[in-house]
Amino acid sequence: MSISRRAFLLATGAVAGSAVLSACGSKGGDSASPSGEVEVFSWWTEGSESAGLQALLADLKINQPNIRFVNRAVAGGAGVNAKAELAKRLSQGNPPDSFQGHAGAELSDYIAAGQLEDLNALYEEQKWKDLFPKQLLPLISSEGKFYSVPVNIHRANMLWSNPSVLKAAGADPAPKTFASFLENLQKVKVAGGTIPLVLADAFTVKHLLETVMLSTLGPDDWTALWQPGADWRAPKVKEALENYHQVLTFTNVSSPAKSWDAASTLLGNGKAAYQIMGDWAEGSLKLTQGLQAHTDYEWAAVPGTAGSFQFLSDSFTLPKGAKHRDAALIWLKECGSKGGQLGFNGAKGSIPTLTNLTEDDRSLFGEYARWSMDEWKRCRIVGSLTHGVVANNAWNTAIDDAITSFLKRRQVSSFQSALVAAAQKHNR
């Protein structure tokens, strides 16, 4: 890649960059290119999420100019509303051509219901088993079959902070332990004028829970909770829930921000000190708000979780009965392509799933993303609850109900009992 081309990519952003990358090796515009439409469900509607999708579509347009993308994106934190609408479509035998799902247990219900085609032939054709991370492959397959194409890797256990707010309060942007984190939250609370730890809609409250549990339990015990026979009555689980109870007192849970990116905006403009959110938050801070790392915002692993990479992966599927199956396969190839992943992840704040990135490819990403790429290789990989890796949809819903009840009563013992009941019913 020439210096001028790299400069153009960095100056114009991921969307334009993706198009330029693809144009160099693309055969787009060939009269023999496939044609038709592809209807795709996702929940990428705002900020860096929308920018990432547009980058992916820019690359698709260059490579397959005759494919018309029909965007069926549905807004809603972590895809709650999109999944509800999707369920209606699937129950009516009217699936979209492809839909977004978090790789892992979230897709197990669709697989068990026989609603997805396996993609092993596509994996063989594209050599994805050699190009996707070895530690990811078991987490995106079921009984040796692949049912989705992951387009990215996100890290959930991230702490974002506003340096100016913390400096004024004498607080640390990167506390090492959970106890130290509570002490720093108290400093911000005493200083006044800002939200110590900002929350938004329901999924952000659950996201906070899973990171606090990982911090308290450690990666081994966190992972074990999702295995059959796990002991949700354990004293360590109770300790984690008590920690969660305590940290909520430093949040705006009673008056949350409208959405996760609205919460990131509060962090960026100095109305909040900390945010625990996945690294899509950097897309909001850096690309949407135009802020500078280490000046306007800082990042660190959630206190107590350094060395663990709590991952999630957005992926796309091929439903059985897709009306435009050939176009859907073209879309899935785009999702797994280097040009598509470079553009998409550069805009969204995540990192590519592909392992064949060159130093030239890495140079297209900012400091945080390069750090995250190295962390993925270095850290212990564990799955996210909120984002579909460790628990299926029914179990996730039961945990949602338990959280809702807890927020009303704030009784840890009852909360733990509800989580025990959820595990007994759904952990099979």
Position 3 confidence tier, pLDDT thresholds 50, 70, 90: very low
pLDDT tens-digit series, residues 136-188: 898 788 999 999 999 999 999 999 999 999 999 999 999 999 999 999 999 99
- CATH homologous superfamily of 3-153+314-369 equals Periplasmic binding protein-like II (3.40.190.10)
298-311 mean pLDDT = 98
**Domain 155-310+383-426 top-level CATH class:** alpha beta
pLDDT exceeds 60 at position 17: no
pLDDT at 25: 38
Q: For 258-265, which contacts have Cβ atoms below 8 Å and span 24 or more sequence positions? A: 258/200, 258/201, 259/46, 259/77, 259/200, 259/201, 260/77, 260/200, 260/201, 260/203, 260/204, 260/284, 261/46, 261/47, 261/48, 261/288, 262/200, 263/198, 263/199, 263/200, 263/204, 264/160, 264/289, 265/289
pLDDT tens-digit series, residues 236-264: 999 999 999 999 999 999 999 999 999 99
pLDDT exceeds 70 at position 129: yes
Q: Where are the domains of the chain?
A: 3-153+314-369, 155-310+383-426
Q: State the Cα–Cα distance between residues 105 and 426, nearest whole angstrom.
A: 12
With b for 16 or more beta-carbon neighbours within 10 A and e for fewer, the 203-237 pattern comes to: bbbbbbbbbbbbbbbbbebbbebbeeebebebeeb
Cβ contacts of 254 within 8 Å, gap of 6 or more:
none
pLDDT at 80: 76
Say yes or no: do domains 3-153+314-369 and 155-310+383-426 share a fold: yes
